[in-house]
Amino acid sequence: MLPCFTQDIPPPIPTTPSSSPSPWHLQLSHTMHTHTHTMHTHTHTHIQLTFSHIQVHVHDPDTHPLITHRLLPSLCSRGLMGNLLKVLACTELEHGPIVFLDFEHAQPTEAETAVWNQVSAVLEEAHGILAELQSYNGAGQEIREAIQNPGDLALQEKAWNAVCPLVAKLKRFYEFSLRLENALRSLLEALTSPPYAPMQHLEREQALAKQFAEILHFTLSFDELKMTNPAIQNDFSYYRRTISRNRLNNQQLEAENEVNNEMANRMSLFYAEATPMLKTLSNATTKFVSENKTLPIEDTTDCLSTMACVCRVMLETPEYRCRFTNTDTMLFCMRVMVGVIILYDHVHPVGAFAKTSKIDMKGCIKVLKEQPSNSVEGLLNALRYTTRHLNDDSTSKQIRALLQ
């Protein structure tokens, strides 16, 4: 039996005279009942609300009112939100949180507008970046011909003229990653700022949560396309070799003015990563935590784990899935879930796969594996190959087996 906590709240303005002088008390008690079967353990949490002589048992939604997220603001105003969130945490409720993130229609409130406008200006470019990357064919043929015929100046010039506009495009992708990093920082500041808890932020700032999700969706989409296109690194390698050769011959080409040696070095490090955008966001999140000494690391990791939990519940709950009006929202939600898991794993000291993790990794992997393999294989690979702690000793063997 877990301990109960009781907190006095001021009585509401009565609409009818009350014959009872007793103060109102909100008592939250939850009783854990564990039933062990051959292969499964089920945990049921019961939340009991007692108002003076009135008892509402929330665990029976068919016969009694259900506590929903719409009641939370009024409870928060009476100083009870902290205790409620302890009861409504993902690790304590069998079905996870009860906040539905409207990834399709969320609009900014007045308080969100300043950050929303800043991030929106960056995200407006995201679709164009993905479209350019998807149509990136590379200059493989021209490069091969130039390498096979080193004495043919016409072929050398043809290859160079083919590569230069592609490198300019790669530079735009890289520069966009820097703007995306700044946008992520602004969102992290907004979604982790005190005094609100992560669930409260997601409830109050749905438009910013949606933008955070859009950044993660773009990131995983970009990296999936990049990983399947070897022409990107081949083109850039040829560009750098040509620049180096010409520098040795005391020649400087006009294209070098746009992508100088310093920029080329930074771009080289960026594109050397298997998942460059995700690496950028991971570094940005880690830097955000390290630079904000007064902000506990748990504020950031709890924001990420809560979002992962909300996405998982939305994906596995038919009542939530039926509210998606766009067929692409399912994939969007899965990408977001995987993205926050990876960020959590990079930022949290023991990662997302440890037994003490606040993310239900078994549940998240199960949700992914229930989808068609061709739509989620890239996401499963992201969990396999871009996380930091999957192979740690603290990782459950069962989780490793699920990802095989």
Q: Is 279:285 a contact under the CB 8 Å cutoff? A: no
DSSP element (H, E) containing 56: strand 54-57
Q: What is the pLDDT of residue 34?
A: 41
DSSP element (H, E) containing 379: helix 373-385
In this structure, what token pair is assigned to residue 377?
A: 């294989």
Q: What is the pLDDT of residue 98?
A: 58
pLDDT 10s digit of each residue in the chain, 404 long? 444 444 444 444 444 444 434 333 333 333 334 444 434 444 443 333 333 333 333 444 444 433 344 333 333 433 333 333 333 344 443 444 456 777 887 889 999 999 999 999 999 999 999 999 999 999 999 999 999 999 999 999 999 999 999 999 999 999 999 999 999 999 999 998 888 887 888 888 989 999 999 999 999 999 999 999 999 999 999 999 988 887 656 555 555 567 888 899 999 999 999 889 999 999 999 899 888 888 888 889 999 999 999 899 889 888 888 888 887 888 899 999 999 999 999 889 888 988 889 999 999 999 999 988 888 888 898 898 888 888 777 676 778 788 87
Rounded to whole angstroms, how far apart are CA atoms 77 and 276?
43
pTM: 0.72
What sections of 23-77 are H helices per DSSP?
72-76
Alpha-carbon dihedral of residues 173, 177, 183, 187, nearest 10 degrees? 130
Q: What is the pLDDT of residue 137?
A: 94
Task: Give the start-to-end residue ranges of the domains of the chain.
Answer: 99-274, 296-403
Q: What is the pLDDT of residue 356?
A: 86
Q: What is the pLDDT of residue 251?
A: 59
Q: What is the pLDDT of residue 334?
A: 92
Rounded to whole angstroms, how far apart are CA atoms 87 and 93?
7
Q: What is the pLDDT of residue 366?
A: 92
